[in-house]
Structure 1
């Protein structure tokens, strides 16, 4: 058989990619008025990011154990590589690491140090290695090598979700109290959400994000996903700008950010997740 790759629903993999590359997905959780809803499994309200009594939770130990156990059996003992949402943003990685110890060295857990499509990019890199017949050590190495090639930026239109989520950490004072502020944020090398620029208007923040991505990619090949929270029009504009600036892109798609991340960044948010080729 072949090594099987497992990830979580933060990676926003399309069902087609999941099936094509045999990537298994474990749901994250959204708790709406006390009801536990599984991302990608249960019906979650489209306006969940605008609701007052909403929290999120990482993948459960039981779901992770079931996924790893099934994937290991399907691999016929060849092993499992699990790629998960940044440990700095979610409990999923630490839970996954604890669960994986039950399976010894047969399950390898990789901290993507990122979020959204960047998690998916790492999982797909590992799955392609598994599909070509690489052994467990090699598939794990491919996943770990893909982590630093991923980068993510986000412009939030509302600060209340971000403050309430606590994911901005010590940068909360940097955000200030200006209601009109549209900060450009990024994920750092440790997968933490950190401030990049304080900007007053959404259009200027989006332009600054395009500049940041274009400068980072340069003339290298890259794949990009533009994410949004109920803001497809602005996401299309950002995508078109990136396509014009970076004609060498291997792919660019526009996709929603998913309910779990949307709860933390709020309505209107636009994010760019990318993976670049080695120089």
Structure 2
């Protein structure tokens, strides 16, 4: 990694630990509040524990990192020799994480560029990797930011959930849409657009919805050179099957990442989530 540009992101990027280490990316954790416990994502609460809590209908909320946590990350980067930091975060429509990073950046010992990527999960992860690779190639702060923003623009995120109820509870989708889905007994396919979650299609069964998710990803990838991430929550078989079919069907596939989402995203989607991120190289 370039000694001059450091990369900070947050735990909702769901980057593999090996990638974080290889590129020296610092992922600041968000918090999951379960009952009276505030637990850091990635270290203090697992996706499995979160899924079980949701099944038992325990109250689960999420919280942004404090500005002090970002201040510490920026200070550590400066002490390690960086003379600039890029701080890349999930959509500001979902969380106050971006705002906390902006507050901390004002007092940082080196220039910090805070970017609302408008995305989440490995869509955010791909942005962080693009910035890190640009920095490692000797790129400036502006060039690394541009690489991340270009990656965000070329990335699409689609996902299936068994129910819209968790998204409704968390205020991530309108009550009317959630009630319509329940009344019609449809299985929703959703898309992340302009930093917000929107209904893409309504399909009658889970099997058809997952099949349609596959078709959408294949159509989006086309013949282009793409990286793909498949995410799930408590649905490893679905994820494994989808990822294998996409490996067989996407001719320009570069990297394929398969992972369970963390507790923060899982709290808003519920068990059964199956998502796919398509990112143009």
TM over 0.5: yes
| Displacement of 1:179 | 7.3
Matches within 5 A, 1:102-117: 102-103=107-108, 106-117=111-122
Q: Write the distance in 1 (CA, Å) between the matches of 2:265 and 2:112.
A: 26
Q: Deviations for 1:133-170, whole angstroms, at most 9, x for unmatched residues?
A: 21212112211222101111110012221211111147
Q: Write the distance in 1 (CA, Å) between the matches of 2:107 and 2:37.
A: 30
C-alpha distance 225-36 of structure 1, shift in aligned 2 (>3 A): same
Aligned: 1:249 with 2:258: no
Aligned: 1:145 with 2:147: no
Paired residues of 2:75 and 2:109 also in contact (CA < 8 A): no
Q: Write the distance in 2 (CA, Å) between the matches of 1:173 and 1:116.
A: 22
Matches within 5 A, 1:2-17: 2-17=4-19
Q: Write the distance in 2 (CA, Å) between the matches of 1:33 and 1:162.
A: 19
C-alpha distance 187-120 of structure 1, shift in aligned 2 (>3 A): same
| Displacement of 1:120 | 0.5
SS in 1 for 2:115: strand
C-alpha distance 45-122 of structure 1, shift in aligned 2 (>3 A): closer
SS in 2 for 1:37: strand
Paired residues of 1:2 and 1:131 also in contact (CA < 8 A): no
Q: Write the distance in 2 (CA, Å) between the matches of 1:191 and 1:20.
A: 28
- In structure 2, the partner of 1:197 is 201
Matches within 5 A, 1:198-277: 198-277=202-281
Q: Write the distance in 2 (CA, Å) between the matches of 1:237 and 1:170.
A: 32
Paired residues of 2:47 and 2:261 also in contact (CA < 8 A): no
| Displacement of 1:174 | 7.2
| Displacement of 1:217 | 1.2
Q: Write the distance in 1 (CA, Å) between the matches of 2:184 and 2:66.
A: 36
| Displacement of 1:5 | 0.2
- In structure 2, the partner of 1:97 is 102
C-alpha distance 45-65 of structure 1, shift in aligned 2 (>3 A): same
| Displacement of 1:198 | 0.8
Aligned: 1:125 with 2:127: no
- In structure 2, the partner of 1:60 is 66
C-alpha distance 140-253 of structure 1, shift in aligned 2 (>3 A): closer
After TM superposition, what 4+ stretches of structure 1 lie above 6 angstroms from structure 2? Answer: none
Paired residues of 1:158 and 1:182 also in contact (CA < 8 A): yes
Runs of 5+ consecutive residues of structure 2 not aligned to the other structure: none
- In structure 1, the partner of 2:26 is 24
Q: Deviations for 1:20-47, whole angstroms, at most 9, x for unmatched residues?
A: 1110110011001121000122244623
C-alpha distance 4-271 of structure 1, shift in aligned 2 (>3 A): same
Matches within 5 A, 1:37-52: 37-44=39-46, 46-49=48-51, 50=54, 51-52=57-58
Q: Compute the RMSD of aligned alpha carbons.
A: 1.8
Runs of 5+ consecutive residues of structure 1 not aligned to the other structure: none
| TM-score between both structures, scaled by the size of structure 1 | 0.93
Q: Write the distance in 1 (CA, Å) between the matches of 2:176 and 2:248.
A: 33
C-alpha distance 201-7 of structure 1, shift in aligned 2 (>3 A): same
